[in-house]
Amino acid sequence: MLLSCLDDDPRMERTLRRFAGALGHEVRFQTSSDALRADLSHNQPDLIVLDLSLGAETGLDILEWLVEHHPQIPIVFLSGQGDELLDTARRIAQGNGLTVSGTVNKANMVRELPDVLARRSVPEPPAKKTPPPPQAEAPLDVDALRVHLAAGRIEPYFQPIVSARTLESVGAEVLARLRLPDGTILGAGAFIPLAERSGLIMEVTRVLSERLIELAPQLKPLGFDFLSVNLSAANVQGEDVAVLIKRLVDAFSGGTRIVIELTETAMLSDLQQMRALTSQLRLGGASLSIDDFGVGYSSIRALAELPYDALKIDLSFVAEMFDSEKAANLVDSMLRMGHSLSLDVVAEGVETEAQRDRLIAMGVDRLQGYLFGRPMPIDQLVCSSDQADQPASRAGSRTGHLTGSGRDSRTDFQTASLADSLTNS
């Protein structure tokens, strides 16, 4: 691999050459941003190593130029000024569409630099091409949504949630999809925000609950401990919602609990109303989970005020766990806080085995994410559960196929991915 490095301290050249050379990389060293610009224009490196403090200029000054001229070359940031600054620089670069392969604190260079460089030696998998969303051409309008809802075109998709102890599916989150008459499936992002803005969200929840009740005879034998259903701020203002959820709880009684996932945006509405509603939901037999924890403003207040049973750490923290110690420490703090309040802690957005293993080591109770399965329609959910109950897979976990092991698992996972890539754009 060819590295082009920019650092105003010429002593760094030796250090960089030593570490990079040991890994078989070639280093070109520059001490000014003009020299780096000239270097990049005649021979493109595989990686740029950029010091943040460059005397009169800063490593950030050159980012704009990189965005314009070489947005595809990944960067490693170096700094002697601590992790906070490195973390912010990474966010600025990523926010501008650049790839950041890692950050190195000069104080820990001996430990961090070889790791970052070794990580880069592994070729990146080619970027996944997601097909353009089918809805891109004609965005949904309120009238069309109203017609679809009247025709009952909301479909529940199910994403497995696994126990951190056994890695078996213990439940699933229900995610709403809209099936258009031509068979196209729209993801939640295509109609939930519109439904929330236009006062139709209650209708979405009503149709979704009816579909779930119809599907109860297929869902109950799967033996899930719980099914999680999302409620938005706008739902919370309706009085009927408690009645609706009570019907759902009753339809699944005798085995499968109903967990209501409330987002923090829901908390912004009237607190008094929230107290009444959450109590009614609990009294009606549902459990309560605080969703997207950590991204809003009112989460800790909400924990203090309302009767939650579980806390779901927002996927943005999981996604950043290995990019920033700060994000990992925040995950750890949220876990401790959740546990100190006797809440079950769920991590969502788990995409890699490394994230799974670190979260389990930290003590998370349940995990959810593409690593274990994408949101899928009922047929696929039932089918993957049947396969997991085959004698061959019984030796492993009940949901071995969802943890990505075995041949069937892969087929299954790919089908799920295909179905979901069409819906989750």
Tokens coding 53: 């403090």
CA 159 – CA 381 distance, rounded (Å): 9
CB of 61 to ligand C2E, least distance (A): 32
CA 111 – CA 116 distance, rounded (Å): 9
Choose from Ca ion, ligand C2E, none: what does 161 bind? Cβ within 5-8 Å by kind. none
**Residue (93 or 350) nearer to ligand C2E, CB:** 350
Among residues 209, 230, 278, 387, which is the contact residue for ligand C2E, using CB under 6 A?
Answer: 230
187 binds ligand C2E (CB under 6 A): yes
CB 370 within 8 A of CB 351: yes
309-328 footprint of ligand C2E as x/- string (CB under 6 A) = ------x-------------
Q: In Å, how far are 120, 263, 342, 383 from 73, measured between CA atoms?
A: 12, 38, 46, 43
CB of 110 to ligand C2E, least distance (A): 34
CA 48 – CA 27 distance, rounded (Å): 10
Number of residues located near ligand C2E, criterion CB under 6 A: 27
Which of these ranges, 197-205, 250-258, 324-332, 404-412, lies near ligand C2E under the rule CB under 6 A?
197-205
Considering only residues 260 through 319, tell me which ones interact with Ca ion, judged by CB under 5 A. Answer: 261, 291-292
CB of 368 to Ca ion, least distance (A): 9
Considering only residues 140 through 179, tell me which ones interact with ligand C2E, judged by CB under 6 A. Answer: 159, 175-176
330 Cβ contact partners less than 8 Å away, ≥ 6 residues apart? 294, 317
CA 193 – CA 233 distance, rounded (Å): 11
E strands of 203-320, at which residues? 226-231, 257-263, 287-293, 310-313
Rounded to 10°, the helix 407-423/378-388 angle is 170
CB of 142 to ligand C2E, least distance (A): 17
CB of 252 to ligand C2E, least distance (A): 16
CB of 304 to ligand C2E, least distance (A): 22
Please write down the HEC assignment for all residues of 149-170: HHCCCEEEEEEEEEECCCCCEE
Cα first-last separation, the chain: 34
CB of 174 to ligand C2E, least distance (A): 6
Which of these ranges, 28-36, 83-91, 117-125, 349-357, lies near ligand C2E under the rule CB under 6 A?
349-357
Among residues 62, 89, 194, 231, which is the contact residue for ligand C2E, using CB under 6 A?
Answer: 231
CB 87 within 8 A of CB 326: yes
Which of these ranges, 90-98, 216-224, 227-235, 274-282, lies near Ca ion under the rule CB under 5 A?
227-235
- Look at the chain and count its residues: 425
Rounded to 10°, the helix 271-283/240-251 angle is 20
Q: In Å, how far are 30, 32, 70, 207 from 50, measured between CA atoms?
A: 10, 11, 14, 54
17-46 footprint of Ca ion as x/- string (CB under 5 A) = ------------------------------
Which of these ranges, 3-11, 69-77, 126-134, 203-211, lies near ligand C2E under the rule CB under 6 A?
203-211
Among residues 74, 351, 360, 396, which is the contact residue for ligand C2E, using CB under 6 A?
Answer: 351
CB of 113 to ligand C2E, least distance (A): 30
Sheet with 26-30, edge to edge strand ranges = 26-30, 2-6, 47-51, 75-79, 100-105
Phi/psi for 356 (5° steps) reads -55, -50
Cβ of 414: how many Cβ atoms within 10 Å? 11
CA 337 – CA 341 distance, rounded (Å): 6
**Residue (209 or 393) nearer to Ca ion, CB:** 209
3-state SS, residue 71? coil
Which of these ranges, 28-36, 61-69, 217-225, 228-236, lies near ligand C2E under the rule CB under 6 A?
228-236
Among residues 294, 338, 375, 400, which is the contact residue for ligand C2E, using CB under 6 A?
Answer: 375
Binding site for Ca ion (CB under 5 A): 230, 261, 291-292
Binding site for ligand C2E (CB under 6 A): 159, 175-176, 187-189, 192, 201, 204-205, 208, 230-232, 261, 263, 291-292, 315, 348-351, 369-370, 375, 424
